Amino acid sequence: MFAVIKTGGRQYRVAPDDVLEIGKIAGEVGTIVQLPEVLVLGADTPVLGTPTVAGASVAAEVLQHKRGPKVIAFKKRRRKNSRRKRGYRDELTVLRITEILADNAKPTIGPRPRKAKAAPAGEGAEAAAATE
């Protein structure tokens, strides 16, 4: 099953477990957010919205907030000693699509548990020696 969603003025084709970068949205890292603007629900028989599909939404887990690559706008007017350099970076949110919902359903899948970082092998041996 797939869906076409609209967020931040752009449209994205998504399926469960897809990871995508969109314009920044509100939501803490590790929480589930719902994206209500679903334009198409696709399966064996696709459902087209007019303009959106009523009662449909997409649930996604917020993985990260970050900034995009720097875009430099450099303008120069030759022979005028006039230059302008401006930089800009987009604010982005990285999402993992958890499920596609229809008929005003609520999300049933929660965020995935975070993996605990394993201590390097050298630190474990030193800590064990220190406790003895």
User: pLDDT by residue (tens digit) across 10-44?
Assistant: 999 999 999 999 999 999 999 999 999 999 999 88
Predicted structure pTM score: 0.76
Q: Grade residue 124 by pLDDT with cuts at 50, 70 and 90.
A: low
Cα(63)–Cα(60) distance, integer angstroms: 9
User: What does DSSP assign to residue 115?
Assistant: P
pLDDT of 125 > 60? The answer is no
Cα(99)–Cα(56) distance, integer angstroms: 11
Q: Output the six-digit token pair for 71.
A: 């875009």
Contact residues for 114 (Cβ-Cβ < 8 A; gap 6+): 30
